[in-house]
């Protein structure tokens, strides 16, 4: 059986389910307790679990993420909420030099079962310092796993895997998706990391995306279908590990690929995926791999300029047409 719920409620319900199941799960973050979370993910958690398991922290990402790493090393399963991933930059040393490397430094004797979660990417008029997409930064570092759920079912399945794993997970949500509804399976529906989902089959071009961009890719595929073009849409779900096998399998059939990301074009995730396709399926390509990305500028505050800086369905349609030499 599956129930229809929102992306936000899937987060809340899965966190609550794991806290009920495992007393080692504790939450830390700014305003997650008394205020119940900026995006209401932790509404009612403080009254249900108390201040020993729902910990309001000072405004010090470096401090509370460092504390969470220590808690994880000693057997707890901390889940840190960052108000936005932009603030995680203040704790980059703890995440990249400690959480990501302690297993390696200790020869496998120390595990860090830590989940850091929160909204990533652009919101609505949050401006340059609060609208960045940081997935490529974290996916660059060995020792971290990077998940980017696109649907409520992804949220539940990937979060269950994150909460039961033994290594640090960067869980990148998207604030624009918190109200999105979708079916979520009942029961233990954990989704293994590194397993992409083909959300729409097609024979003419492969659209590869993650997080909010999956929804744009699906809308673009509907548009292309009206032109007689059948686009296959792949939801990557995780960037590290990356399911290259599903991507290459699709491109070998369609011979064309468009990779979609919200972040800036230079040195982004789409560049890595395009390189993978070139390495593994170059001789099968009928056109260069296209990238659809955000504009290479700090995010403007003015709404009209902000919209110009973000990828849109029409950009994906145009890129797909270019691979088919229709534009």
Positions marked active-site:
61, 130
- For residue 82, what is the DSSP state? P
Would you state the structure tokens that stand for residue 224, as one six-digit string? Answer: 């292309």
Tokens 């999956």 belong to which residue?
214
> Residue 245: how many CB atoms within 10 A of its CB?
12
Burial of 187 (0-12, 13-18, 19+ CB in 10 A): exposed
CA distance 192 to 195: 6
Closest CA to 135 of 324, 268, 302, 276: 268
Residue 224 contacts by C-beta under 8 Å, 6 or more apart in sequence? 204, 205, 230, 231, 317, 320
């Amino acid at each position: 059986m599956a129930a229809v719920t929102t992306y936000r409620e899937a987060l809340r319900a899965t966190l609550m389910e794991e806290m009920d199941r495992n007393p080692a799960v504790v939450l830390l973050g700014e305003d997650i307790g008394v205020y119940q979370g900026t995006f209401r993910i932790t509404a009612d958690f403080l009254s249900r679990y108390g201040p020993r398991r729902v910990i309001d922290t000072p405004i010090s990402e470096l401090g509370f993420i460092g504390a969470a790493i220590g808690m994880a090393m000693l057997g707890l399963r901390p889940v840190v909420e960052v108000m936005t991933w932009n603030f995680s930059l203040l704790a980059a040393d703890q995440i990249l030099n400690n959480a990501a490397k302690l297993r390696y430094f200790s020869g496998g004797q120390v595990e860090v079962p830590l989940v850091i979660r929160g909204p990533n990417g652009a919101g609505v008029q949050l401006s340059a310092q609060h609208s960045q997409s940081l997935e490529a930064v974290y996916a660059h570092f060995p020792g971290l796993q990077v998940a980017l759920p696109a649907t409520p079912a992804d949220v539940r399945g990937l979060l269950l895997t994150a909460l039961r794993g033994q290594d640090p997970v960067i869980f990148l949500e998207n604030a624009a998706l918190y109200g999105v509804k979708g079916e979520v399976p009942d029961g233990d529906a954990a989704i293994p990391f590194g397993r992409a989902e083909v959300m729409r089959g097609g024979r003419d071009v492969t659209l590869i995306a993650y997080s909010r961009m999956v929804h744009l890719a699906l809308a673009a595929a509907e548009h292309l279908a009206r032109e007689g073009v059948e686009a296959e849409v792949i939801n990557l779900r995780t960037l590290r590990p990356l399911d290259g096998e599903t991507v290459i399998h699709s491109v070998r059939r369609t011979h064309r690929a468009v990779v979609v990301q919200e972040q800036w074009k230079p040195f982004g995730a789409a560049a890595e995926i395009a390189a993978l396709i070139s390495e593994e399926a170059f001789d099968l390509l009928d056109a260069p791999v296209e990238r659809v990305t955000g504009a290479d500028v700090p995010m403007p505050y003015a709404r009209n300029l902000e919209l110009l800086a973000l990828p849109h369905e029409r950009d994906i349609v145009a890129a797909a047409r270019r691979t088919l030499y229709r534009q």
